[in-house]
Amino acid sequence: MPPRRNTGANISTDQEAQQQQQIQQQLLQQQQHHQQHQHQQQQHQQVVPVVTFKSFQAAKPPEFKGSADTVEAKARLKEMEKAFTLIEVTGEKKTEYASYFLKNEASYWWETSKALEPEGLITWERFTELFLEKYFPDLMRDQMELKFLELKQRSMTVSQYETKFTELSRFFPTYVYTEKKKANRFQQGLRSWIRSKLAVLELDTYSAVVQKAMIAEGESDSYMRERENKKRKVGTSDKVQSPGDLQSHPNKKPGFQPSRGTTFKKPDTGNAGPINRPPNNNQQVVSRPPLPECKTCGKRHPGICYRLSITCFKCNQKGHYARDFKTGIVCHRCKIPDHMIKDCRAPAPVNNMIRAIEAPPAVDVQPLARTYNMSMREAVRDSDVVAGTLLINSVNAKVLIDSGATKSFISETFARKLNFLMEPLSGVLSVEIANQDRIPVSSYCPRCEIEILGNRFYADLLPFKLGEFDVILGMDWLTDYDARIDCKDKRVNLVTPGKKEVIFK
């Protein structure tokens, strides 16, 4: 009989062998994973570059010698931080590298400050704190913040104002942390006439506001150059005229050249009687009462007599030439001999006329500039003027358009109340009132915007004490826009720079 096999023992031996084999495989996998992890760490450590001082110098960080200018100190600190970021300098090396570039007074300050600090490594955060306490203290920061909040363009160009705004705004990002806030802050500091133009555009980006402001300023400069060129041309034509020319043409106003063959003068009728003009395509038949006889020259004509601008060299009075001077002195106010007008005790004539002439009076005949202080009721009755309400720099104003005024004026009260920009004149202008007193005017409001039926016109206005009206637009403005006054219908035809005809009534 054969022996029986031990079946249970064999099974147990096989299971133990399998378990040992599995354990060995797990240990082998763990060992391989550990070796792979160590290899990755070694590779990572090899990738990290070692930053030396020589490599940091290659970035050319700025030196700082200790300036009282807070802007420069703050800027140098910012440049140093940019160099750290570029070269990837670690925290423990930042203070050591940065302190090397402190020179002169700044180096002395750092040696003293470092000696007062506890022993050990001085972090970059602590270095920055000490640096700002020295060169950008809270007092200076507050002063600079106030300077930024009160920054205005004033006499600067838009480009200069933008440079100053950028210089200050970088230190106070809380006021310009969004594009819209930055644009609004910049726009608030612009000159009033530029700001009013940009307000209607509703710009939301800083770059757009700066660009549009520069365009508006450039257009204004072009306009002023055109005005100067026109004045030079008018001045040249005035010099050609002589007193003899004016005598042969007594109704011609010196210095005025009518545009498009149209004139605002009333013709000399010679004798009393209505004037009948043949109608044409642009003008209707106009009938007017006879003109009064001038007490100065004895002729019939509108406006100021040209003889008032003539000065006699013998008696130093206006109204006649030296060759016409008779013996004795006659007052030109009361017409009584033996005294001059400055010594006359007779009351001044009831005439609220204001004349602006170039000061001092010249020997040659000079073009006179004049305007009238009339009320709205008088303007309605007068056929030579047109009155109404217009937008002046986006503000409602009572405006008188008067062909008898050779210059344009703005009420001093109106200009101050609305803070109109005023610039100095190239020369002093004297304003002569009815009692012969002269009031000097040395400034003007440049390029005031006048809106008529959605169209924009511009005028240089002289600030003066006016009556009921806020603005008086005279011949200088009417000439610029080829104006025609329809006295019958009391309306003004204007031509825009784009050759568009605009009718105001």
Is the same domain home to 170 and 221? yes
Is the same domain home to 150 and 126? no
Within a domain: residue 39?
A: no
Can you give the pLDDT at residue 351?
Answer: 40
Q: Which of 136, 151, 174 is the last residue of a domain?
A: 136
**Using an 8 Å Cβ cutoff, are 160 and 128 in contact?**
no
Within a domain: residue 354?
A: no
Tens digits of residue pLDDT in 326-349: 555 666 667 677 666 667 766 555
Q: Is the pLDDT of residue 6 over 90?
A: no
Residue with tokens 């005229």: 241
Is the same domain home to 202 and 149? yes
Instruction: Residue 122: give the domain boundaries.
Output: 53-136
Is the same domain home to 215 and 251? no
Is the same domain home to 381 and 441? yes
Out of 145-159, 181-195, 438-452, least confident range: 438-452
**Using an 8 Å Cβ cutoff, are 287 and 275 in contact?**
yes
Q: Which of 86, 111, 136 is the last residue of a domain?
A: 136
Q: Which helix (H) or strand (E) holds 126?
A: helix 124-135
Can you give the pLDDT at residue 416?
Answer: 84
C-alpha 449/C-alpha 118 separation (Å) is: 67
Q: Is the pLDDT of residue 28 over 80?
A: no
C-alpha 20/C-alpha 163 separation (Å) is: 80
Within a domain: residue 300?
A: no
Kindly state the average pLDDT of the residues 162-169.
91
**Using an 8 Å Cβ cutoff, are 291 and 314 in contact?**
no
Within a domain: residue 119?
A: yes
Is the same domain home to 198 and 248? no
C-alpha 437/C-alpha 412 separation (Å) is: 18
Is the same domain home to 209 and 129? no
Q: In what order do the strands lie in the sheet with 491-495?
A: 484-486, 491-495, 501-504
What residues contact residue 277 under an 8 Å CB cut-off, 6+ apart?
283, 285, 286
Q: Is the pLDDT of residue 51 over 60?
A: yes
Strands 438-452 vs 471-473: parallel, antiparallel or unpaired: unpaired
Kindly state the average pLDDT of the residues 224-232.
82
C-alpha 249/C-alpha 246 separation (Å) is: 5
CA atoms within 13 A on the CB side of 468: 11
Is the same domain home to 91 and 115? yes
Can you give the pLDDT at residue 374?
Answer: 58
Tens digits of residue pLDDT in 338-380: 666 667 766 555 444 454 544 444 444 333 445 545 555 565 5
Within a domain: residue 329?
A: no
How many Cβ atoms from other residues are within 10 Å of residue 265's Cβ? 15
**Using an 8 Å Cβ cutoff, are 462 and 422 in contact?**
no
Can you give the pLDDT at residue 350?
Answer: 40
Can you give the pLDDT at residue 194?
Answer: 93
Is the same domain home to 159 and 130? no
Overall pTM > 0.85:
no
Domain count for the chain:
3
Q: Is the pLDDT of residue 491 over 90?
A: no
Q: Which tokens is 293 given?
A: 């006889």
C-alpha 258/C-alpha 265 separation (Å) is: 10
Is the same domain home to 449 and 402? yes
Q: Which of 87, 121, 136 is the last residue of a domain?
A: 136
More confident call, 45 vs 155: 155
Within a domain: residue 311?
A: no
More confident call, 387 vs 43: 387
C-alpha 125/C-alpha 123 separation (Å) is: 5
Within a domain: residue 420?
A: yes
Is the same domain home to 462 and 382? yes
Is the same domain home to 107 and 151? no
Tens digits of residue pLDDT in 270-325: 444 444 555 555 545 455 667 778 877 778 777 777 666 666 655 666 666 666 66
Q: Is the pLDDT of residue 210 over 90?
A: yes
Out of 115-119, 257-261, 468-472, 474-478, least confident range: 257-261
Within a domain: residue 338?
A: no
Which band of pLDDT confidence, cut at 50, 70 and 90, is reported for residue 115?
confident
